[in-house]
Structure 1
Amino acid sequence: MATGTDVRSTTTRGAGWWCAWGFIAISALHVVYGLVEYGSEAGDVLAHGLGGASGDVDRERFFWYMLGGPAMLLAGLWARQEFRRTGRVPRAVAWFAVFLGAMVLLMPDGGFWFFILLAVPAFRASSGRSAGKRAEGDG
């Protein structure tokens, strides 16, 4: 039997969980919204590539929705994996949330506000201050 504190039973679990699943949920919403709103552009992008997207606002938006969603998914999966393994979220994931949240300055009516909210649990879970020691053999 492992000794020590199981990181899953600490108060940081909430912060790590919110960080990881927040990124994953936002990524899913991002891709779904992009497909619903700009899905008609998918065939055009697949047929002609992105080279002709310059100047076509709907094609550009479709591209960014499809690019942003997987990037956020990877950040969420990385945060989830590292939190389960070490009891901490990578600091880079927290800074990624800050960077995306800062985009509010460029597009205040966009959904970047969610990343400002995600940055708080991301930094809390990356510090490990309340995570305690990882239980030996727990992984």
Structure 2
Amino acid sequence: MNTLTRWVPRLIIITALLHFVWAFVQPNAWAAIAGDGFWRTVVDTEAGDYFAREASVWFLVSGVTLLAMGTLARHVIRTTGRLPAQLGWYLVVIGIPLCVFYFPVTGGWPVVAIGVLALLAARRPVRAGETVETVEA
């Protein structure tokens, strides 16, 4: 397993953690969401704080999604010794629309960069003599 293969899941997990932090540090609407009881608290598009509520929820959901992708990638690497190329494609496909729609200021650029790194890592063959680390069940 090469260094790039080991670092891609770490970078995805770090990005997920940054999403969690930003979901609660940015000007957010968690107090309003909790005050309204959570249920259907982001459906009123006419509400004055609609965009703050929506951003709060989407940063949290994106963090969970990235965390799932990163930990699953780590598991796949430990099991097979390789990073699947589709992980890189998923990240690129997620990041490009963010870059296009929110150009130039967006967090989509790091997602695209990590996706490209994942594609590069997936192209590298397992070297002769390398062993696959197995996960104890």
TM, length-normalised to structure 2: 0.80
Q: Provide the C-alpha distance between the structure 2 equivalents of 1:28 and 1:67, rounded to a whole number of angstroms.
A: 12
Flag the structure with higher helix content.
1
Cα gap change, 1:50 to 1:16, in 2 (>3 Å):
farther
Cα offset, 1:21, TM superposition: 0.7
Give the equivalent residue in structure 1 for 2:16: 27
Aligned-partner residue type, residue 17 of structure 2: A
In structure 1, stretches of 5+ residues that fail to align are 1-6, 8-12
Instruction: Pick the aligned partner of 1:131 from 120, 126, 133.
Output: 126
Identity of aligned residues (%): 22
Aligned runs of 1:36-55 on 2, under 5 Å?
Answer: 36-39=25-28, 41-46=29-34, 47-49=36-38, 51-54=40-43, 55=45
What's the C-alpha RMSD, in Å, of the aligned pairs?
Answer: 1.9
Instruction: Pick the aligned partner of 2:113 from 109, 112, 117.
Output: 117
Matched, 1:97 2:91: yes
Aligned-partner residue type, residue 19 of structure 1: V
RCO higher in structure (CA 8 A, sep ≥6): 1
Q: What secondary structure does 1:48 align onto?
A: coil
Instruction: Pick the aligned partner of 2:54 from 47, 52, 60.
Output: 60
